[in-house]
A and B are shown apart, each in its own frame.
Chain A
Amino acid sequence: MTNIAAEDLSADRSKMTVGSQVAVEMIGVNKWYGEFHVLRDINLTVRKGERIVICGPSGSGKSTMIRCINRLEEHQKGQIIVDGTELTNDLKKIDEVRREVGMVFQHFNLFPHLTILENCTLAPIWVRKMPKRQAEEAAMEYLAKVRIPEQAHKYPGQLSGGQQQRVAIARSLCMNPKIMLFDEPTSALDPEMVKEVLDVMISLAESGMTMLCVTHEMGFARQVANRVIFMDQGQIVEQNDPEAFFTNPQHERTRLFLSQILH
């Protein structure tokens, strides 16, 4: 495991404030893939401005859990309420939630037939009905924030993995989301590119964004997260603030996991 050490990441925690409003609420959420019980009785409340890091062994359901929040996966039991809207089969509600929730994927999932700029303006133009010029101006602003405005007219295939992931983050931000989901954003990157992506995520956290992040970058968790969640076998096993989580894990399964990924 190549982890960026916490000391190599500089984050200003004083800028990250947690509000009192609830951003995401999961109550008794259960999900099955056929016979397989993949999420078991998940209860989780995320307040505005929280930065939550979710870790756990592969197959523990952590990706599935955050994919339920924007309904890329459907849950079969329990309630998920995102920014005041409950996710049901109502397609209108789903679209409403998806407009407010940004997602960054492990494999970037940029649209290869569109330029970087077009990738960023697609959803604002077609979903938010924003005029093209305004969308482009906003996109250039976000591309500047992730430090690649000069690549705006290239195609994703011409960029490195780290650059592509930063574009993916900018693309999500162009929709002005209230919540950002990250599904192992650095797992597919070469070690040299992990830090550039984490730096962008840190500045996002400093801007007060509500973030749920599935990652094994424990340095990032220490510096940015206000809560770390450990999942195994489809359930939340342990949840604590990062300091306590890393120095004094309570559950035996957590201790085993941490001993394997930290050295």
Chain B
Amino acid sequence: MTDVASPGPDARSAIYVRGTFVPPSPPPGSTVGPFGWAHKNLFSSPFNIAATILTALFLAWVVPPLLDWLIFDAVWTGENREACLPVDGREVGACWAWVQAKFGQILYGRYPLDQRWRVDLTALLFVAGLVPLAIPKVPYKRENTILMLTAFPVAAFILLYGGFGLPVVETALWGGLLVTLVVAVTGIVASLPLGILLALGRRSKLPIVKTVSVIFIEFWRGVPLITVLFMASVMLPLFLPSGVNFDKLLRALIGVALFSAAYMAETVRGGLQAIPKGQYEAAAAMGLGYWQSMRLVILPQALKIVIPGIVNSFISLFKDTSLVLIIGLFDVLGIIQLNFSDANWSAPTVPATGFVFAAIVFWIFCFGMSRYSQYMERRLETGHRR
């Protein structure tokens, strides 16, 4: 059987020589366009059709009441609990008026009202430093990084805590998003370099460095964060000489940083192990020393591989900041819960509103980190995994 269109004999016969090469042609119409997409992704098989219909039904069942609660039946303005009370049988959804009333506390905790500009200024400096770092096209990355790691922490400390003419605001008064961000950012910034050093240490050929790293990592990974915070807050003062006391927030910061460094170390070690031996050898053969080859060849590749794991750690660290509640510090969630007991605002939907709002705040930050990490992954892809 010979196709008229194809010149030469058929390949199914024993001897075959191709006459002409087949030119490329566009794909058949049914696989492209919106209908093609829907057919392929939503209605390709009986199972897929059933899944599509069930999902649509589920959404129809869940979404309208959710929108009613969040938006249409929600109370947007009000001075006190009266606004959010379900009087005369009216449906009351989320009590956003309460969030509005407590917004200052959710952001700053009990930070003195007339000093809150200091927090705002710190936040402004932070954003002004971070945004140009996060956008790849902006120049002066190195200078900016150095500023953010040296000048900014000092400025932030003076602004937030006090000194140089600014009245001191004890950390016991800090709260809300301020505490969440201080703990999370410090933990994130400290844990990455510390984790990298620990990961390198664990793979070191020097027995002492290796043993110290292993003991450190396994100790901190073996205890729960709550225990760490509790120890830092309750036990540590017992071991310190009387009169010596350092700040509760500072102790929490150190505990969180060391704790997440141990996790970070194992994440980074995973990346280091994924780099082929040939990369180490090529770097060594060119005369690069240990630190040079780590910094220029191994770590850029290893860290890129483990971006998802690193950001995973960041996200879980961000959410774990809520645990500082047990040592008497009030983060976003803590301050929201604290405000449930305000008799002026006692209404049935207030707690639910508070938790939903806290969830939204956490979600925005975590989702932001997640998206940015995916963007970085795509950007750093150099096509060597084809």
Contacts and interface: CB of A to CB of B under 8 A. Distances in A.
Interface string A206-217: 000000000000
Interface in A83-111: 95, 98-99, 101-103, 105, 107, 109-111
Contacts of B276: 107, 109
B285 interface: yes
B284 A158 contact: no
A175 B288 CA distance: 11
Given A105-B278, A158-B383, A72 B286 contact: no
A221 B287 CA distance: 29
A175 B286 contact: yes
Interface stretch (A122-130, A142-150, A255-263): A122-130
Interface stretch (B5-13, B292-300, B318-326): B292-300
Contacts of A246: none
A156 B382 CA distance: 8
A153 to B, nearest CB: 12
B284 A157 contact: no
B186 to A, nearest CB: 29
Output the residue of B286, B296, B301, B386 with the most chain A CB within 10 A: B286
Kindly state the interface size class of chain B when it binds its partner. 20 to 34
A158 B296 CA distance: 21
Interface in B260-314: 276, 278-279, 281-289, 292, 296-297, 300-301, 304
Q: Is the interface of B mostly helix, strand, loop or mixed?
A: helix
Given A157-B383, A157-B386, A123 B288 contact: yes
Interface centre among A109, A110, A155, A171 (most CB of B within 10 A): A109
Given A157-B385, A157-B386, A122 B286 contact: yes
B282 A111 contact: yes
Contacts of B383: 155, 157-158
A39 B281 CA distance: 20
B278 A122 contact: no
Nearest to B303: A113
B287 A123 contact: yes
B384 interface: yes
B287 A109 contact: no
Contacts of A122: 286, 288, 296-297
B287 A105 contact: no
A183 to B, nearest CB: 10
Nearest to B298: A111
Contacts of B385: 157
Contacts of A113: 300-301, 304, 380, 382, 384
Contacts of A112: 301, 382, 384
Contact of A98 (B284, B300, B386): B284
A64 to B, nearest CB: 13
Contacts of B301: 111-113
A98 B293 CA distance: 14
B384 A72 contact: no
B322 to A, nearest CB: 37
Contacts of A109: 276, 278-279, 281-282
Contacts of B380: 113
A98 B384 contact: no
A70 interface: yes
B286 A157 contact: no
Contacts of B279: 109, 111
Contact of A111 (B287, B292, B297, B386): B297
Contact of A72 (B281, B287, B292, B297): B281
Interface in A171-207: 171-172, 175
B249 to A, nearest CB: 39
B300 to A, nearest CB: 5
B296 A126 contact: yes
A157 B381 CA distance: 10
Given A123-B288, A126-B296, A155 B282 contact: no
Given A113-B300, A123-B287, A126-B292, A105 B281 contact: yes
Nearest to B289: A95
Contact of A155 (B296, B304, B384): B384
Contacts of A105: 278, 281-282
Contacts of A155: 382-384
Given A109-B278, A112-B301, A126-B296, A70 B285 contact: yes
Contacts of A110: 282
Nearest to A156: B384
A72 B304 CA distance: 26
Given A105-B278, A107-B278, A155-B382, A127 B304 contact: no
B288 A126 contact: yes
Contacts of B386: 157
Given A155-B382, A157-B383, A157-B385, A98 B278 contact: no
B287 A127 contact: yes
Given A111-B297, A112-B301, A126-B296, A175 B382 contact: no
A61 B301 CA distance: 31
Contact of A157 (B287, B288, B382): B382
Given A105-B281, A122-B297, 9 more contacts: A109-B279, A111-B282, A111-B301, A112-B382, A113-B380, A123-B288, A127-B286, A171-B286, A175-B286
List 6 tightest A-B contacts by C-beta distance, closest first: A157-B384, A112-B384, A109-B282, A123-B286, A109-B278, A157-B383
Interface of A: 70, 72, 95, 98-99, 101-103, 105, 107, 109-113, 122-123, 126-127, 155-158, 171-172, 175
17 contacts: A72-B284, A72-B285, A95-B287, A95-B289, A98-B285, A103-B285, A105-B281, A105-B282, A109-B281, A111-B283, A111-B297, A123-B288, A127-B286, A127-B287, A157-B383, A171-B286, A175-B286
